[in-house]
Amino acid sequence: MAAFESPDTSHKDIFPLGQPFKSLYAIHALREYLSTRRLKNSMMHTSTQEAEASDHSRSDQQDAVMKAMALLVAAICDPAVIDQCSNRDMRLQLGLELVENFVQLLKGLFKCRL
C-alpha cells in the first residue's frame, strides 16, 4: 500500500514485467487501496463537520485516484507490461483487467462531477 502513496513509484514497480500474476494481484490491491481511502475519507468527513477537513479528505481522495490512473495508463501504454507475459491467455487477461479498472476509475470520476 505504501508503494501506491509514494510519488516515486513507477508502473513497473507495481506491475512487474513478465509477472502477470503479481500484476493481477497489484490490480486487486489497487482497488482495495482506493476503497480503503474512500472509506477513511468518508469516516473523517462524517466525524468532523469542518469545511477544511472535508476539503482535505476530498483532495486526499483525488490524489489517490489520480495516482491510480497514472499507474494504470502507464501500464496500458507500455507494451512490455503485457507482451512479456508467458502465454496469450495471460496477456489477454492482464490487458482486460488494466483497461477495465481504468474505465471504472473514469466512471467514478464522471459520477463525482455530476
Give the model confidence (pLDDT) of 26-53 as tens digits: 999 999 998 888 777 767 666 555 555 5
Is pLDDT of 113 > 60? no
The angle at the Cα of 54, spanning 11 to 40, to the nearest 5 degrees, equals 55
Is pLDDT of 57 > 60? no
Is pLDDT of 58 > 90? no
Is pLDDT of 91 > 90? yes
Task: Give the per-residue SS3 of the chain.
Answer: CHHHHCCCCCHHHHCCCCCHHHHHHHHHHHHHHHHHHHHHHHHHHHHCCCHHHHHHHHHHHHHHHHHHHHHHHHHHHCHHHHHCCCCHHHHHHHHHHHHHHHHHHHHHHHHHHC
The reported pLDDT for the residue numbered 89 is 94
Give the number of domains in the chain.
Answer: 1
Task: Tell me the pLDDT band of 55, cut-offs 50, 70 and 90.
Answer: low
Domain membership of residue 37 as a residue range: 2-113
